[in-house]
Amino acid sequence: MSMLVDNPIQALKDYVAYPSVSADSSFANGVAGAREFACAQLQELGFSVDLVDTPIHPIIVATRGEPSWPGIVIYGHYDVQPPDPLNLWTSKPFEAQERNGRLYGRGAADNKGPQIVHMAALARALKKNPNLPLRITYLIEGEEEIGSPSFRQFLEKDKHRLQGDFLLVSDTGSPGPNQLAVTTGLRGLVALEVKVYGPKQDLHSGVHGGALLNPLQALARACASLHDEQGRVTVPGFYDAVQAPQDWEREELSKLPITESAYAEFLGAPGFFPPPGYSPLEAIRFCPTLEFNGIGGGYQGEGSKTVIPAEAFAKITCRLVPDQSAEDIAGKVQKALQSAFPSAVRVEVETKGGGDPYVILPPGKPGADSGSKPLMEKAFSLAEHCIEQSFGTRPLYLREGGSIPIIRDLKEVVGLDSLMLGLFTNEDNLHAPDESFNLEIMNKAIDAFEQFFVGLAG
Ligand code: BES
Ligand code: MN
Pocket test of ligand 1: the residue of 80, 144, 293 to mutate, having most ligand atoms within 8 Å of its CB, is 144
Contacts of 320 (CB under 8 A, 6+ apart): 187, 188, 189, 190, 288, 326, 329, 354, 356, 357
Q: Which atom of ligand 1 has the smallest separation from the CA of 353?
A: 19
Q: CATH topology of 2-186+358-457 equal to that of 188-242+288-355?
A: no
Q: Name the nearest CA neighbour of 284 among 135, 399, 373, 129.
A: 399
| Element counts in the chain: helices (H) and strands (E) | 13, 18
CA of 99 to the centre of ligand 2 (A): 22
362 has pLDDT over 90 = no
User: What per-residue confidence (pLDDT) applies to 203?
Assistant: 98
Q: Name the nearest CA neighbour of 361 among 246, 284, 251.
A: 246
Spatial separation of the C-alpha atoms in residues 59 and 51, rounded to whole Å: 6
Q: Name the nearest CA neighbour of 4 among 136, 147, 123.
A: 123
pTM of the model: 0.94
Question: What type of residue is 372?
Answer: S
- Please give all residues whose CB falls under 5 A of ion ligand 2, grouped by chain where several chains appear: 110
User: What per-residue confidence (pLDDT) applies to 2?
Assistant: 85
Calculate the CA dihedral of residues 434, 79, 354, 281 and round it to 10 degrees: -30
Please state the domain extents for the chain: 2-186+358-457, 188-242+288-355
Give the chain's end-to-end CA distance (angstroms, integer): 22
What string of DSSP letters covers 132-149?
Answer: -S-EEEEEEES-GGGT-T
User: What per-residue confidence (pLDDT) applies to 364?
Assistant: 82
Reported as a single tens digit per residue, the pLDDT across 114-151 is 999 999 999 999 999 999 999 999 999 999 999 999 99
Spatial separation of the C-alpha atoms in residues 419 and 448, rounded to whole Å: 14
Average pLDDT for residues 331-351, to the nearest whole number? 97
Reported as a single tens digit per residue, the pLDDT across 234-246 is 999 999 999 999 9
The CATH T-level fold of domain 188-242+288-355 is Alpha-Beta Plaits (3.30.70)
Classify residue 200 by its DSSP letter: S
Asked if 148 and 406 count as a contact pair (C-beta separation under 8 A), the reply is yes
CA of 203 to the centre of ligand 2 (A): 41
CA of 342 to the centre of ligand 1 (A): 36
229 has pLDDT over 90 = yes
Q: Name the nearest CA neighbour of 446 among 2, 4, 135, 47.
A: 4
CA of 366 to the centre of ligand 2 (A): 31
Contacts of 237 (CB under 8 A, 6+ apart): 332
Reported as a single tens digit per residue, the pLDDT across 142-187 is 999 999 999 999 999 999 999 999 999 999 999 999 999 999 999 9
The confidence band for 370, taking pLDDT boundaries of 50, 70 and 90, is low
Reported as a single tens digit per residue, the pLDDT across 251-269 is 999 999 889 999 999 999 9
Spatial separation of the C-alpha atoms in residues 437 and 107, rounded to whole Å: 9
Span 2-186+358-457 CATH architecture: 3-Layer(aba) Sandwich (3.40)
Q: Which atom of ligand 1 has the smallest separation from the CA of 431?
A: 13
Asked if 30 and 23 count as a contact pair (C-beta separation under 8 A), the reply is no
422 pocket-lining for ligand 1 (C-beta < 6 Å): no
363 has pLDDT over 70 = yes
pLDDT, mean over the chain: 96
Contacts of 265 (CB under 8 A, 6+ apart): none
User: What per-residue confidence (pLDDT) applies to 372?
Assistant: 63
Cis peptide before 85 (omega within 30 of 0): yes
Q: Which atom of ligand 1 has the smallest separation from the CA of 183?
A: 8
Residue 67 has a CB neighbour count (10 Å cut-off) of: 8
175 pocket-lining for ligand 1 (C-beta < 6 Å): no
CA of 414 to the centre of ligand 2 (A): 23
Is residue 227 helix, strand or coil? Answer: strand
